[in-house]
Chains A and B, each alone.
Chain A
Amino acid sequence: MADSTLSLLCRFAPRHTPRVRALLQLLGVTLFLLVGGGIVKAQQLLTRPDGEPFRLVLQWMPQAQFAGLYVAQDLGFYRDAGVALEIMRGGPDRDGVRLMKEGRVDFAQTWLSTAIEYHEKQLPLVHILQVLNRSNAAIIARKSKGIHKIEDLNGRRISLWEGQFRPPFQVLLGKTGIRPVVVPQYYTVSLFLRGGVDACSGMEYNELNMVYLAGIDREELTVFFLRDYGVNFPEDAILCRRDVWEQSPEACAMVAEASLRGWEYTRENPEKALDIVMGYVEQERLPTNRTHMRWMLQVILRSIFPEEGDRWTLGELSREDYETTARWVKDQHIIDNIPAYDVFRGQTRVP
């Protein structure tokens, strides 16, 4: 802000002598300190009870999937909303639920199904924002292996994610009655690329493009999007510990609002958002590139912002989607009871 004030002042005094310019700059700095300091004092940021900023942990390493949140952090949208929030990357070395349980983290972004499971089995959570309402999960198969329709997967060796990412695929297999030979899939699609399996699980915004960027053309693939088979799991959701919500529902509302603002900004300025994401990517020295991130952002935005014909509302989790998803999770014996929608949703939206 100091920089912009200075440059603004300088712009109006382009023909002044160096001495006059120095005076004007001094005036600018003084103004900034007075006004800026005043705002900070006047608007106290909400923090954790220990005075530390709230912490939000993501599912994974920095990537465009989280662009809106990184944008909100970097452009001060959380601060503008009145909350001090720090975003932590996720990854294989960080168990978000454990961090929440330990009280080291207040907010987490996970899949809705995962959140329901955690809420029911581990610790009470409150759902504060449904970021992705459109499922991106898919089964990616090679045409060269003779897979052209979903039935062709019967008896085939395919790799599927384990744990929290398995439920939607399990629902698909249950709904369609397909019986493939499943091997576990982890962070890469190497097994699929090396021909170890005929098909693998993947997200439209990530693995599908990774396969393409490994030299396999789209025409060589048959892609089964789960949403096309009626298995539309609402994915990324932001949750908070119930105790956090109970203590500071305003902070939760501010996080949800500022996060959405971040996504709206991202939609309007995708290249600027990519700059921010790539900054985090480079910081972590991750083996990815802007081309892939651009693709990811494009698909993610399509899954956040409803278009004509889409049934969801931006940022909202409908009762129907919630109950369908919860029932699917229950059907797989992951949970015994379906948590009440109102409890799970909390009252963050109703003052």
Chain B
Amino acid sequence: MFRNFNIGTRLTLLIILGVGLMLTVITIVDYTAARRMIQQELKEKASSLAQSTAGKMEVVKRAVEKIVQEVAIVIDNNDFSSDQAVNLLLNSVSAHSEVFGMVLAFGNGIGEDDTTPFIPYVFRGDETIEWADLAEAGDYSYWTYDWYNLPRDMSAPIWTDPYFDPESHQLMVTYSVPLTDPDSGLFRGVATGDVSLDWLIQLLAELELGESGYAFLLSSTGAIVAHPIQELVLTESIFSVAERFHDPRLREIGRDMISSGSGFVPFYSPFNKQDYWMAYTPVLGTEWSLAALFPRKVIMAKLFTFTKFKIILGLIGTLGLIVLSLLISRSISHPIQALDQAALQIASGKLDTEIPVIPGQDEVAHLGASFQAMKRDLILHIEELKTTTAERERIESDLRIARQIQLDLLPKSQEFTGPCSCFELSAFLEPAREVGGDFYDYFQFGDNLVYIALGDASGKGVPAALFVTVSRTFLRGMIRANPDPALAMTLLNDELSVGNETNMFLTLFCAVLNPETGVVQFANGGHNPTYLVDPVSGPSPFPKTQGCLVGPLEGMEFQRGQIQLKDGQVVFMYTDGVVEAMNTDQDLYGDDRLIEVLTRSKQKSPSEMVQDTLQSVRAFAGDAPQSDDITVCAFRWKDRTITRT
């Protein structure tokens, strides 16, 4: 996907992607871990704060319980008069500042015969401790109140629900212990202690809950006893708030709180619409529940600030990396671009283009050096190539000339009719290279004789061509001097063998025809058989004569053969280039195919027979390269004595 961009862009993009991904992962992991840590710390802090507050409350609670219980024990175990009972209360209240007021309620009076209710209430007045008999207020139905009937009906001390005391304008809660008649063991009244909750509210207000944190207190029924929003105190419960704001989760939290549960939960305040972390724990025994709330926004703000700082730092780092990567990529791509330009110039042939010098030891510098070396080698190579090409062209030119010379050395015409109209010759030579080792030759000499020769020197190319030229020249002279082909070949052999260090040789068929008589004298020095093609019976090989290769050994003898041609018969000669021609499958053309062509062309002229043969060989070879020189020669003799119509 990045292949279409240059190195600099790719590097920058990859760095942004890689570093960005890394930064994101690190930030998330870091943030989560930090948040968990903060939450854990907060949980511990909140729990310990709640518990220490609970502990402080517990101390007061126990103190009050002890005071009231002691009063109850004294009353239960003594036969007190009303004055003594009042004095007991006065002493207790004055001795214990925790207690706001105390009541002893005797529904059936205090004395043995007294059935008039006696309810002394001792309380802190504006300046002094005062007392009053509540029973004297005629319509005071003391028995209808929780502080009286709950200890009675539950036969146990109880803490009442908190209430607002209209006289003292204080939030109060009462501890009430049942009194027992020592004789009957029956309930006879209660001893109570009233505690103002102002100290508790003060205690909660002083809790270190950080900026905009707060605490609230719930009674055993979920009623809000202390809360920074005064209007909620005693009028609302956590459940009425849950109902009011349709918040079932708040109800669940409330249920856990009043079931003496403790926890650390996310909490949403519907009043100020803020999220908090809330720790809650049971207080005052297990009766009430204290909640300490820490605003998430404030706590998380620090984490956000820290994370934000880290992100900014990360971004600056990434920016630095991008700049660095751009510089690095530029240091790589600029020399490469320069090299690219130079390479294009050199490719267009401007070899004098300057290759930029790249300092340093890095890969790009090495590349620059390699370009320098390449340019140098290229110049040298081109120079060398020029020289070699010139040399080659010269040789090729020489070879072209040699070829021409060799062709010029062949009889001028490929068609020859001889001294009379009874003779008709056709020849063809096709060298495999520029110059070849085949040759054919004919001429008329002496007493109307016709000399015909066809040979093939060993090897190919220039050496063969030189050897053939020498042999042909010698043979010409020897035939002219002595028209016996066998003798001429013997002399030729002796001549060639002298100083023949390279052991070159040639195969040679040499014939002398008397056109008048049709007698052909011939000798064969290791050459392919010559065919006599009768227009009626077709081809047949010449009679065999002894004769070895011409040239390598001195003093060799060649047997002379002779045949009498009949009218229309053709003598067909060829070199091994014909029968050894190969097709692309490396098959040889062979004698059979030649005999077949000759049979097919037996009534044709020598010229047509030569062409048919060549055509057949070419057709057979197809696209296979010509491996050897091909030479074909044929002549026909016509008997002049036969009268033709």
Contact = CB atoms under 8 A, between A and B. Distances in A.
Interface of A: 92-93, 95, 159, 183-184, 186-188, 190-191, 193-194, 196-197, 212-215, 217, 285-292
Contacts of B254: 215
A95 B139 contact: yes
A186 B144 contact: yes
B161 A215 contact: no
A191 B244 contact: no
A213 B237 contact: yes
Contact of A285 (B141, B154, B164): B164
A290 B244 contact: yes
Interface in B451-507: none
Interface string B234-273: 1111111101100000010011001000000000000000
B240 A215 contact: no
Contacts of A213: 222, 237, 239-240, 243
B167 interface: no
B185 to A, nearest CB: 18
26 contacts: A95-B139, A159-B153, A183-B153, A184-B149, A186-B143, A186-B146, A186-B149, A187-B144, A187-B145, A190-B160, A190-B161, A191-B150, A194-B158, A196-B153, A212-B239, A214-B221, A214-B239, A217-B255, A285-B164, A286-B235, A287-B164, A289-B235, A289-B236, A289-B240, A291-B236, A292-B240
Nearest to A157: B153
B236 A193 contact: no
Q: Which of B143, B239, B241 has most chain A Cβ within 10 Å?
A: B239
A287 B234 contact: yes
Interface string B586-604: 0000000000000000000
Given A95-B139, A213-B222, A214-B222, A196 B150 contact: yes
Nearest to B241: A291
Q: Which 3 A-B pairs have the closest CB atoms?
A: A214-B221, A186-B144, A291-B240
Nearest to A288: B235
Given A92-B144, A287-B234, A194 B154 contact: yes
B251 A287 contact: no
Contacts of A290: 244
A95 B139 CA distance: 9
B220 interface: yes
B166 interface: yes
B163 interface: yes
B20 to A, nearest CB: 51
Given A212-B239, A213-B243, A285-B166, A190 B234 contact: no
Contacts of B119: none
Interface of B: 139, 141, 143-146, 149-150, 153-154, 158, 160-161, 163-164, 166, 220-223, 234-241, 243-244, 251, 254-255, 258
B552 to A, nearest CB: 129
Q: Which of B153, B154, B234 has most chain A Cβ within 10 Å?
A: B153
B154 A291 contact: no
A197 B144 CA distance: 16
Contacts of A291: 236, 240-241, 243-244
Contacts of B236: 289, 291
Nearest to B139: A93
B258 A215 contact: yes
Contacts of A217: 255
Contacts of A159: 153
A213 B235 CA distance: 11
A186 B150 CA distance: 10
B286 to A, nearest CB: 12
Nearest to A95: B139
B149 to A, nearest CB: 6
Contacts of A186: 143-146, 149
Contacts of B161: 188, 190
Contacts of A214: 221-223, 237, 239, 258
Contact of A215 (B144, B146, B166, B255): B255
Contacts of B244: 289-291
A217 B242 CA distance: 13
Contacts of B143: 186
Nearest to A190: B146
Contacts of B239: 212-215
B52 to A, nearest CB: 26
A101 B141 CA distance: 20
Q: Which of A196, A197, A285 has most chain B Cβ within 10 Å?
A: A196
A169 B67 CA distance: 41
Given A285-B164, A287-B164, A191 B237 contact: no
A167 B226 CA distance: 40
A287 B235 CA distance: 4
B150 A190 contact: yes
A191 B164 CA distance: 20
Contacts of B243: 213, 291
Contacts of B238: 215
A215 B221 contact: yes
A287 B222 contact: no
B191 to A, nearest CB: 19
B221 A193 contact: yes
B473 to A, nearest CB: 136
Given A213-B243, A289-B235, A194 B220 contact: yes
A187 B146 CA distance: 8
Contacts of A93: 139
Given A92-B144, A213-B239, A213-B240, A191 B221 contact: no
Nearest to B156: A196
Contacts of B251: 215
A195 to B, nearest CB: 8
A194 B158 CA distance: 10
A93 to B, nearest CB: 6
Nearest to B146: A190
Contacts of B237: 213-215, 289
Contacts of A193: 220-221
Q: Which of A196, A214, A286 has most chain B Cβ within 10 Å?
A: A214
A93 B240 CA distance: 28
Nearest to A292: B240
Contacts of B241: 291
A268 to B, nearest CB: 23
Contacts of B141: 92
A194 B236 CA distance: 19
A95 B144 CA distance: 14
Contacts of A292: 240
Given A186-B145, A215-B251, A291-B241, 18 more contacts: A183-B153, A186-B143, A186-B144, A190-B161, A190-B221, A191-B149, A196-B150, A196-B154, A212-B239, A213-B222, A213-B240, A214-B222, A214-B239, A214-B258, A288-B235, A289-B237, A289-B240, A292-B240
